[in-house]
């Protein structure tokens, strides 16, 4: 049975957790930034909903009803796929904490469904606007429209609840989680690749000429659309209700299974036997030990620790792999399709541009929150005879190692698929990556010591508490910090002057070194002075609802 008093208790507990975080100085700034960004984001979707409400009166109810199956299919695709594309599964229940409370599984499943409604709130806004527009414009049977939309929303909520728990189960398997998610995210660029394919366009034109239609009953969006426009039969109603029941069984089944697995792991299972020590080192282990041989301690051993720890983290490995796989898949079709000077210019610097994209993709885990994975263990750094400057420098050097590693993998993939990758492109990529690292680490050091957030390195989706300020930095300040590099490329294209590009990159490099040095010393001093505050931020936990 569902106990609504338990749901109210969970909400009060989460409210108290947020209130405690709000008392922290940096969290107040992050919360206000998050509120501002949320208002902007949902304001844009609210505007889209208003346009959807006005469309039936502008073009006619019949035209909107004709396009309704495609609109509902888009809404369903966005609702189910957007969490995968953005690497964010949304707000969810933290089952490891809730396992300690006497809360029934049906009650928790109701809360999970409410959270899935919030995760798809953008699409609910569009549906509400569309419903309002059709009702005010005089649709034939408003009650059928209302019931069809309600069943459609219920299907998406239940199905997304099951998909979320299924994905979490898959992500518990090492290596498989990165492969699966890279494949799923790469599928999002399939329409783009098909759009650039002449054979795909010919097939699409042939299908349009021959009036080839996809059976509407394959998807709940088509069934809901036919019910909404009063063109349904009894079979359509039965099939949609059967799909709804199947999604309920699917969602509740995987949710209950996840609850049982979490409860078992929380209660404590016997640890697997330890494997015998390997006599030979793997290639990655051998490479990770090179800093210990090249740098004196404690700098060398700290670098080795950072390199190994990041490589073992699924949260880091996923965007790292996506940089030289998904990044190439997404950008190469655009570069190859462009003709004339612009296309040639982009292809000549393909390795450099894709590397910059990959570094931005690594921003949350490699730059903006360098102490997040350490969490409460950060206190051990201050118990050792270690200066904060050495700790921060070791983290920056490990960041540089992975930055150049990413660049080399991007260049290798570009060379394999036939893009120009000669010694000139390699030198350009190394120089631009070096300058970009200075600017990105300048911003990252400042954020890491002033706005630290504990992050779970085992969560593949965005881990840690939601922080609007960090999102603003990632999507606004990070690209802006690379503006000197982009200006140099723009000058080389417009002025066709390689010498001008060289001097502008040299000036950007000198400025980057100066900014990095000043920010590094400032961040190191701040971290040493405010070490208690830093440890306090990194030791805090979330409430029963974990934002990802």
The predicted structure's pLDDT at residue 269: 45
Backbone φ, ψ for residue 268 (5° rounding): 105, 110
Question: Which SS3 state, helix, strand or coil, does residue 93 take?
Answer: strand
The predicted structure's pLDDT at residue 373: 85
Residues 6 or more apart in contact with residue 516 via CB below 8 angstroms: 438, 439, 441, 442
Which residues of the chain fall short of a pLDDT of 70? 1, 13-35, 37, 83-92, 94-97, 99, 170-214, 261-283, 458-475, 541-548
End-to-end CA separation in angstroms for the chain? 29
**What are the domain boundaries of the chain?**
4-202+212-267, 298-540
Report the distance separating Cα 113 and Cα 417, nearest Å.
Answer: 44
Q: Burial-class residue 5 by CB neighbours within 10 Å (0-12, 13-18, 19+).
A: exposed
Report the distance separating Cα 479 and Cα 483, nearest Å.
Answer: 7
Estimate the crossing angle of helix 498-529 against helix 531-539, to 10 degrees: 90
DSSP class of residue 375 equals: G
Question: Which SS3 state, helix, strand or coil, does residue 540 take?
Answer: coil
For 188, 203, 523, 529, the CA distances from 518, given in Å and listed in that order, are: 41, 58, 9, 17
481 contacts 439 by C-beta, under 8 angstroms: yes
Report the distance separating Cα 493 and Cα 496, nearest Å.
Answer: 5
Report the distance separating Cα 454 and Cα 452, nearest Å.
Answer: 7
User: DSSP letters of 266-310?
Assistant: HH--PPPPPPPPPSS--HHHHHHTHHHHHS-TTHHHHHHHHHHHH
For residues 173-199, one letter each, b for 16 or more C-beta atoms within 10 angstroms of the residue's C-beta and e for the rest, the string is eeeebbebbbeebeebbeeeeeeeeee
Residues 6 or more apart in contact with residue 133 via CB below 8 angstroms: 52, 53, 54, 55, 56, 57, 64
Nearest 10 degrees: Cα torsion 18, 24, 26, 31: 20
CA 55 to centroid of chain Cα atoms: 32
Question: Which SS3 state, helix, strand or coil, does residue 205 take?
Answer: helix
Which pairing describes strands 92-93 and 545-546: parallel, antiparallel, or unpaired? antiparallel
User: Beta-carbon neighbour count of residue 164 at 10 Å?
Assistant: 25
């Amino acid at each position: 049975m569902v106990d609504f008093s338990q749901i109210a208790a969970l909400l009060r507990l989460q409210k108290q957790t947020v209130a405690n975080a709000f008392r922290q100085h940096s969290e107040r700034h992050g919360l206000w930034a998050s509120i501002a960004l949320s208002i902007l984001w949902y304001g844009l979707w609210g505007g889209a909903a208003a346009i959807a409400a006005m469309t039936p009166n502008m073009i006619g109810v019949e035209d909107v009803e004709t396009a309704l199956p495609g609109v509902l299919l888009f809404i369903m695709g966005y609702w189910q796929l957007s969490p995968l594309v953005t690497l964010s599964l949304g707000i969810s229940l933290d089952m490891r904490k809730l396992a300690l409370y006497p809360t029934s599984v049906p009650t928790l499943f109701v809360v999970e469904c409410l959270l899935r409604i919030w995760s798809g709130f953008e699409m609910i806004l569009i549906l509400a606007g569309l419903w309002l527009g059709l009702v005010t414009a005089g649709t034939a049977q408003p009650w059928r429209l209302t019931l069809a939309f309600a069943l459609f929303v219920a299907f998406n909520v239940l199905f997304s609840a099951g998909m979320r728990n299924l994905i979490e189960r898959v992500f518990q398997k090492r290596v498989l989680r990165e492969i699966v998610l890279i494949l799923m995210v790469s599928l999002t660029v399939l329409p783009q690749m098909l759009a650039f394919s002449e054979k795909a366009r010919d097939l699409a034109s042939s299908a349009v000429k021959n009036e080839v239609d996809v059976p509407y009953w394959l998807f709940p969006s088509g069934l809901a659309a036919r019910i909404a426009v009063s063109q349904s039969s009894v079979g359509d109603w039965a099939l949609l209700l059967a799909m709804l029941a199947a999604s309920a069984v699917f969602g509740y089944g995987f949710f209950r299974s996840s609850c049982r697995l979490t409860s078992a792991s929380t209660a404590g299972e016997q640890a697997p036997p330890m494997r015998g020590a390997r006599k030979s080192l793997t290639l990655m282990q051998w490479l990770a030990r090179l800093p210990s041989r090249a740098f004196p301690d404690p700098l060398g051993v700290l670098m080795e620790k950072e390199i190994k720890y990041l490589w073992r983290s699924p949260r880091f490995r996923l965007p790292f792999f996506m940089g030289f796989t998904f990044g190439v898949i997404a950008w190469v079709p655009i570069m190859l399709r462009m003709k004339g000077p612009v296309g040639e210019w982009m292809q000549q610097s393909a390795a450099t541009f894709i590397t910059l994209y990959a570094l931005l993709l690594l921003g949350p885990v490699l730059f903006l929150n360098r102490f997040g994975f350490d969490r409460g263990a950060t206190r051990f750094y201050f118990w050792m005879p270690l200066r904060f400057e050495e700790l921060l420098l070791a983290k920056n050097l490990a960041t540089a190692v992975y930055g150049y590693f990413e660049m080399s993998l991007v260049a290798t993939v570009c060379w394999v698929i036939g893009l120009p990758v000669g010694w000139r492109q390699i030198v350009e990529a190394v120089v631009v990556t070096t300058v970009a690292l200075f600017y990105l680490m300048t911003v990252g050091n400042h954020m890491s010591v002033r706005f630290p957030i504990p992050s779970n390195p085992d969560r593949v989706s965005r881990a840690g508490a939601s922080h609007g300020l960090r999102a603003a930095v990632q999507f606004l300040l990070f690209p802006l910090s690379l503006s000197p590099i982009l200006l140099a490329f723009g000058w080389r294209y417009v002025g066709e002057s390689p010498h001008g590009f060289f001097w502008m990159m040299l000036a950007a490099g000198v400025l980057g070194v100066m900014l990095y040095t000043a920010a590094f010393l400032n961040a190191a001093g701040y971290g040493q002075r405010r070490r208690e505050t830093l440890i306090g931020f990194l030791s805090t936990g979330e409430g029963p609802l974990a934002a990802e």
